[in-house]
Amino acid sequence: MEKIDFAKGDGLVPAIIQDVNTLQVLMLGYMNQEAYEKTCQENKVTFFSRTKNRLWMKGEESGNFLQVISISLDCDQDTLLIKVVPQGPTCHLGAQTCWAGEKETSFGILADLENTISDRLQVGIAEKSYVASLKEKGIEKIAQKVGEEAVETVIEALRSNDELFLNESADLLFHYLILLQAKGFKLDNVLGVLADRRK
C-alpha cells in the first residue's frame, strides 16, 4: 500500500466503503496519508473531512464505527476499497447506506434462486413445480433430498469427472436452499452465523 498515489488528488484519495458480509456499498469518503495510516493503526475507518479540514473517524460521535476487514488499492493506485463490518447505520441520516438503501445481501444468481424458491414454496402444489411438490411431501423429504445430494456430491468428488461433480454440487446447493426456506431461513442467516464466528 506504499504505492498509493496521494499526489494525483492533491493529497487525497477516494475510499469506497463496502460491507464485507453483504457486499453493499455503504459510503464514499476521502483519505490523506495520515487518515490512511490512522485507519490501519486503529482498525477503524478514518477519513480526512474536507468540510471540517481535519481527520475524522467515522463513528466518533455516533458510535457507528466501521471496523476494517481489508483494504485494497485499484489498478491506478489512486482509489481504495475498504471492506468493513459496520457497527450500526453508516449514513448520518440513519440509513444503512448513504444511498438510503436498507441492508441487503448481494448474492447475484443465488438471490434470484432464493426468490424463485420462495415464490414456488408459496404458490403450492397446484402449480406443479418441483419445489412445490417437495414442500407437499414435508420437511423430512426435503432433508432426505439434501442428504442424497450430499452423498452424490461426495462420490463425484472422489472421481475424475469434473462436470458430474459440478452438477451434483449445484443440485446439493439447490436442495439446501429449499431446506433453509422450508425451515424459515435464508442464506443470509447462515452467513450471519459465519460472521459471528469470525469475530
Residues 6+ apart with CB under 8 A from 49: 55, 56
Is residue 99 included in any domain, yes or no? no
Radius of gyration of the chain (CA): 22
Does the pLDDT at position 103 exceed 60?
no
Q: Which residue has the cell 464514499?
A: 28
Judged by average pLDDT, the poorest of 38-42, 117-121, 146-150 is 117-121
Residue 153 makes CB contacts below 8 A (sequence gap 6+) with 165, 168, 169, 171, 172
Range in 30-44, 82-96, 110-124, 128-142 with the lowest mean pLDDT: 110-124
- Residue 139 sits in which domain range? 109-198
**pLDDT value at residue 71:** 96
How many domains are there within the chain? Answer: 2
- Of 29, 25, 77, the residue nearest 57 (C-alpha): 29
Enumerate residues 6+ apart whose C-beta is below 8 A from 72: 80, 81
* Residue found under cell 485507519: 39
Q: How far is CA 4 from CA 58, 65, 175, in A?
A: 21, 24, 46
Boundary (domain end) residue, out of 86, 120, 154: 86
pLDDT of 160 reads 94
Evaluate whether residue 181 is within a structural domain: yes
The SS3 assignment for 46 reads strand
Does residue 124 surpass a pLDDT of 90? Answer: no
CB 71 within 8 A of CB 81: yes
The pLDDT value given to residue 104? 57
Q: Provide the pLDDT confidence category of residue 67 given band limits of 50, 70 and 90.
A: very high
Q: Residues 115, 194: one domain?
A: yes
User: What is the value of pTM for the model shown?
Assistant: 0.63
pLDDT number for residue 1 = 58
Alpha helices of the chain — where are they, by DSSP H? Answer: 33-42, 109-123, 130-137, 139-157, 162-182, 187-198
Instruction: Clarify whether residues 82 and 113 are in a common domain.
Output: no
| Same-domain pairing of 117 and 65 | no
Cα separation, 194 vs 4, whole angstroms:
32
Query: Which of 1-15, 48-62, 118-132, 177-191 is the least confident region?
Result: 118-132
Banded pLDDT at 187 (limits 50, 70, 90): confident
From first CA to last CA, the distance across the chain in angstroms is: 25
- pLDDT value at position 58? 94
Tell me what the mean pLDDT of segment 52-65 comes to.
Answer: 93
Segment 69-89 shows an average pLDDT of: 94
Residue 156 lies in a domain: yes
75 lies in some domain: yes
